[in-house]
Structure 1
């Protein structure tokens, strides 16, 4: 399948790992309030997911637990597609109040908490079929590349963001509160569109690779105007969502924010939707 604007460039879409394929269930695929991915190949109830998260966070704080980390599938994918264009759903996750958190914690505890937060978020992205682009201090950038079912990819990206919020609010924060550590809160922004892979240098194996594009920029702009613990999505994402997921969003009416970005398709003000 060819994606993007350059007909000479064929994107190598990440292929699913069938050894990690999820078992079929009778659960409505658009009703996941009580069923969430916890590790590759399985689906468990949210209570089990949160209990596992809390166990890891507690062990990190008290028993020097070390995360195994998430495979860096993104770098491999980008190196295979240098200077090629493709469409993707981009997700920005930014930690709110990170300066206050850093000032209020010993360095050792700060490193443990931030490391655990990053690994839990990266794991959630991986379990929902996304690719982790990078950590940027207190922010995480991920992207989801569609193959044939772009609507399904948009749904998965939104489910990923919802799972992230759940892991933070009901998995991580209760453990932090037990030890009088500050709770974590995030702003999330999401958009869909064409991006291009860039490589800074001539070495195909060692030179840094990255993504650039309007959806990258818009996801960042959208995230910057979100409230704490809020997910905002651009209209290009919203239009791809299943109607049942669309019902969970409402259009943002700008009051105190000068939102000036316009749709490339219509020229009208670019619409943004908030998860209720």
Structure 2
């Protein structure tokens, strides 16, 4: 279905006007003494084409079908780049393939009687979900083992062993992408990423989801198979948005905990439930803030958006 042209001022699922603009960066010169650099930014040609109507030059976003006037781009750069601190939190692993290969070797040894060897890469330590009672922008990633109930009934303790390796290795991967785990669900987990820079956060989110699939298929399952343990398949869903933390206190039983109120979290879980085996789906709010390199790997999935709160809310498969 062909997308209709949208207004650049259109708000996102949480009622905000958050936008991303991708540039190709060329370094013109550097000065070691002053530790400064001159760079040139050009709109990424993979994402934008230029058009002129009634003497007004604009950039057409090929993916989001948004027409952005050139003067608006200049205005946003002047407003946001002057004095803006640069926030960049890349993953601690450079290559998912290389990482998966290294983990497969040590897991194969461990599942056949060896000792646990942690990755050489540093994984972020688990942190609490945002400092205050709310956060304006959080990524949620829901991971679920397909057919876990039948697997547990069929394999019993052997499934529990597989699940132990599954949780340890994938939660370690979450830390590599500056994320933490919100909770373990019994047949999977829900993770989140909350970073100062929303562009890096969104890119890390999709990179993490794909890496989880890679580590499962290329590291965990081969080791489980060699140890005659049940292999696993997963569904993964992700989306971004606001979240707030609510305290839950029951004085009569002395129960104390907290709950997360977030449409983004609800969407991530529902999107995960829509996914097929070893499939990673993302919501429209996340899709619209990704770098063009990820957008090129996305394909819209024909699903009924009513369960996500909006009939026209789109879901994308990323590979």
TM-score, length of structure 2 as denominator length: 0.63
Residue equivalent to 1:8 = none
Residue equivalent to 2:127 = 74
Residue equivalent to 1:275 = 318
What is the distance in 1 between the residues matched to 2:102 and 2:257? Answer: 35
TM-aligned CA deviation for residue 274 of structure 1: 0.7
What is the distance in 2 between the residues matched to 1:47 and 1:111? Answer: 26
Change (3 A) 1:66 1:210: farther
Q: Secondary structure at the match of 2:153?
A: helix
Residue equivalent to 1:118 = 167
Post-superposition Cα deviations, 1:37-82, rounded to whole Å, max 9, x if no partner, equal xxx985454454223322343344232645779776333x45x32x
Residue equivalent to 1:260 = 306
TM-aligned CA deviation for residue 186 of structure 1: 0.6
Q: 1:187 aligns with which of 225, 230, 235?
A: 235
Matching of residues 223-242 of structure 1 within 5 Å: 223-242=272-291
TM-aligned CA deviation for residue 271 of structure 1: 0.6
Change (3 A) 1:56 1:158: same
Q: Which has the higher contact order (CA 8 A, sep 6+)?
A: 1
TM-score, length of structure 1 as denominator length: 0.72
Q: 1:198 aligns with which of 240, 246, 250?
A: 246
What is the distance in 2 between the residues matched to 1:49 and 1:68? Answer: 12
Poorly superposed stretches of 4+, deviation over 3 Å: 40-48, 64-72
Change (3 A) 1:194 1:44: closer
What is the distance in 1 between the residues matched to 2:166 and 2:100? Answer: 14
Q: Report how many aligned residue pairs link the two structures.
A: 226
TM-aligned CA deviation for residue 167 of structure 1: 0.3
Matching of residues 112-261 of structure 1 within 5 Å: 112-147=161-196, 149-201=197-249, 207-254=256-303, 258-261=304-307
More strand by share: 2
The structure with the largest alpha-carbon Rg is 2
Q: Secondary structure at the match of 2:312?
A: coil
What is the distance in 2 between the residues matched to 1:41 and 1:128? Answer: 4
Gaps of 5+ in 2: 1-13, 16-89
Residue equivalent to 1:20 = none
Q: Secondary structure at the match of 2:107?
A: helix
Q: Secondary structure at the match of 1:201?
A: strand
